[in-house]
Each structure stands twice: as structure tokens, then as C-alpha cells.
Amino acid sequence: MAKRRKTREAAGEMLDGNRSAAVGAKLSRVQVIAAYPITPQTPVTEALSEFVERGELPAQYVNVESEHSALAVCSSASLVGARTFTATSSHGLAYMHEMLHWVAGTRLPVVLACVNRAIGAPWSVLNDQQDSISQRDTGWIQVYAWNNQEILDSVIQAYKIAEATCLPVMVCYDGYVLSHTEMPVDVPPQDAVDRFLPPYKPHTTIEAGNPKNYNLVTLANPRLNADGVLCHGYMEIRYLLQEALEQSTETIAAVGREFGKSFGRSYAGLLWEDGMEDADIAMVAMGSLAMEANVAADSLRKGGIKAGVVGLRIFRPFPKRDLVRVLRGCRLAVVFDKSVSYGNEGAVGNEIKAALYGIDTRVAVRDFIVGLGGRDVKARELADAVKKALASVEGGALSQEKADWICEI
């Protein structure tokens, strides 16, 4: 299991998150880019446009008129066999919703950078993770980066994972917190990336005289083709999508290990862990929030509370097995969610409870909703939340009906 790196090796270039994503796409030698501007994703599209106009990236850049079209362009270009990239945020991702399902159903290795932003109404351009969490059931692999190095590394790995599994990958990172914040990022040389990521060998073909018809109307039950061979019905095709997502955990880990061998930064785990060896209490978060949780855990430990941090790097496929392994020794898991499944609770908290169902030890789970619409999340607030959760567990409550919102109501 990978440990979160607290110190950085030799400092590289100073890049913000958006530049890191764009450089990752360029290093991956993307061939077709289609994107529509939306805050805070715009610098990704501007950087890629510049790479293309300068002749540094021999790609087709399509300035589409909407996000729906952006993903439709990527979908059909990918069917032809091109490596495709798009990026969006918030309402843009919501507008892509139909195409997200379509791309996953077609099993196309499209890579999308989602710069996480709150979703209206009311309007907000600031960060939370409601946009990508709302798309969790579309059949995409979802990666959440916790710093800019991870953004760049994840985009490159995303193509390798996508092309091996025939699944699209969404690389998510927090708007402004990462997208507009510069950090030192080690940019690997092109030849090393080329060795790691060979050109895409498509599983689809479009050629004259071969009447392949992608996504014809498909009946519920299997049906004979013209040669009398029984072919899948809709439900079998959908089962294969689910199976591919489930099995992709191994590919994700293998690609992460190989990345480590090639570039010295391993991503073999679906989770990051910090101080979990002897932890009594796990603080669970996704994206840059896990950095803040690290600070809180350190302060809790100074106060005698043995806290550790679990950062979910992968949200789909949901890393159930890894979470059970890492959380089963804890008395309490405190989950910090930057999204809400309205009418229920935080998405991560809810899914962790489900993952822990039926194991032989009792782990209390407390869910806190934090940071919506860019609300600042302080390490002190996270530490206070842990203390509050701990008090309620010591008061005998294993579970609670509602998530706690860290806000003024």
C-alpha cells in the first residue's frame, strides 16, 4: 500500500494544476482535443490551444460550441482510433451527462480532466466535488488527485489504464485549490513517457466494406446474428461494463506500479495512507482535502489521539477491499465529504458505510459535509470534527442518522 509522500524529491517546474493537466495531455501525445471553456477549467484549454498553434502538439483541436459536443467529438474521434482529451468543470460536466454514459457504454478510452467546481443553483465558481460525484454512475473510472504532480502523473496513467480496460477515465482535481495554485512539478521527458505509453491500438474500426454499426438498437435478450451466432443483449453488454470496472482495480494498480518503475513515483494503491499503521481513528477524504486532513491528524496526535489519514485516489471503481483492510482496525472513521447525495448524506461517507457492512469488527463512521461552494476548510475544523465524532462514539452511538455540516446552520 502506497504511503503519502510528505516530502518532495528534487523540485521541478512551477506549474498550477491546470497547466499540469495540459502538459500531461501533451506528453500523452493526444491526437484530438475538443473542449469548451468554463471556469476554472479554461487555462487547460488555452494551454492546449497554444501547444497546438505553436506546432508543439500535432493534434486536431476542435473549438466546439458546447460541452455536449466536446464529448461527442471525442467519442467519435476515439471510435476512429484517435487518442482524445477533453476537460471541463461543474455545469459543463453536467451538460456532458448524456455523453458520459454514451462513451462508457461504447467502451471508449477517452480521458477527461474534471476541475472540480460547485454546481448551481445558486451560482458558484468555487470548489467542491458535487460535479464529478454526481456522475459516479456513468461507468467512468474516477481518479482524484491531491496535488499537481498527481494531476500530471494521473493524466498519463489514465491513457494507459483506459486503453487497457476499454474504459473512459475522469481525472478530477480541486478547482482553484489545485487548478490555480502553483507547485513544483517534475515534468518527465517525452521519450520516457513514450516508452511508458505507446500509441493507442484501437479496438474499433471504421472502414469501407465493413458494415460495423456501433450502438445499434439492442434488445434486452441475446439475439442471433446473420451467421446464427448468439450475440449479447443489452443486459449482457451492460454486465460487461460493470465487470470491466470491477476488474480495472488490478490494471490501475499495475499501471501505477509500472509508472513508479519508470518515473520514481509509484501509484500502486487505490488509496493513500498516512499514519494508519497504529491509527485508532481514520480521517477519510478525497482530493486536496486529504492534505488538510494530514495537518489535522498531526495536531490530533500531539493531543494524544491516534489519528491517521486515508485519501481516496480512486472513487470508481470504489476501493471497497482496500478500505475494509485499512479501516477494520480502527474504532472510528471520520469521513469528510465535499459533496452530498441530497436526501441522504455525503457520497463517500455513504459508500464507506456500505463497504464496511458485514465485516466482523465494528467501525463507527461519522460523515461531515465540508467545503461546499469553496467554503474554506481549516485543519482545526477537521480536528474539532474528529473530537466531536469521538465524543459521540464514546457516548455509545455506533451510527448517526444524519451527516454533520460544518457551516453556520
Partner 1 sequence: MPRVDAVNLVEKEFLLPGNRLCPGCALSLAYRHILKALEGQAVVTVPASCLTVLHGMYPVTSVTVPCVNTPFASTAASATGLVAGFKAMGRTDLTVVAMAGDGGTHDIGIQALSGAAERHDDFIYICYDNEGYMNTGNQRSGSSPLGAISGTTPLLGKREHQKDIMAVMEAHAVPYLATANACYPLDLYEKVRKARSLQGLRFLHVFTPCPPGWGFPFADTIRIGETAVQTGWNVLYEIEDGVFHLSPPSAAVARKGGPKPVREFTATQGRFSSLGEDKMQELQDWIDARWERYLARAAAGHQ
By CB under 8 A, name the binding residues for partner 1: 31-32, 34, 59-60, 62-66, 68-70, 72-82, 84, 98-99, 102, 206-219, 223-226, 231
Q: How far is the CB of 248 from partner 1 (least distance, A)?
A: 24
Q: How far is the CB of 39 from partner 1 (least distance, A)?
A: 21
Q: Which is nearer to partner 1, 214 or 239 (CB)?
A: 214
Q: Which is nearer to partner 1, 177 or 197 (CB)?
A: 197
Q: Which is nearer to partner 1, 28 or 350 (CB)?
A: 28
Q: What one-character-per-residue DSSP string does 284-348 give?
A: EEETTHHHHHHHHHHHHHHTT--EEEEEESEEES--HHHHHHHHTT-SEEEEEES---TTS--HH
- Alpha carbon 202 to its chain centroid, in Å, reads 23
Q: Which is nearer to partner 1, 211 or 358 (CB)?
A: 211
Q: How far is the CB of 291 from partner 1 (least distance, A)?
A: 37
Residue 234: which H helix or E strand, with range? helix 234-263
CA distance 395 to 241: 44
Question: Other C-beta atoms within 10 Å of 244: how many?
Answer: 18
Q: Which is nearer to partner 1, 91 or 353 (CB)?
A: 91
Residue 371 has φ and ψ, to the nearest 5°, of: 65, 20
Could you tell me the three cell numbers for 207? 472502414
Q: How far is CA 100 from CA 72, 108, 349, in A?
A: 9, 10, 24
Q: How far is the CB of 139 from partner 1 (least distance, A)?
A: 15
Q: Which is nearer to partner 1, 99 or 244 (CB)?
A: 99
Q: What one-character-per-residue DSSP string does 1-31 give?
A: -PBPP-S-SS--EEE-HHHHHHHHHHHTT-S
Q: How far is the CB of 86 from partner 1 (least distance, A)?
A: 11
Q: How far is the CB of 72 from partner 1 (least distance, A)?
A: 4
Q: Which residue has the cell 457520497?
A: 347
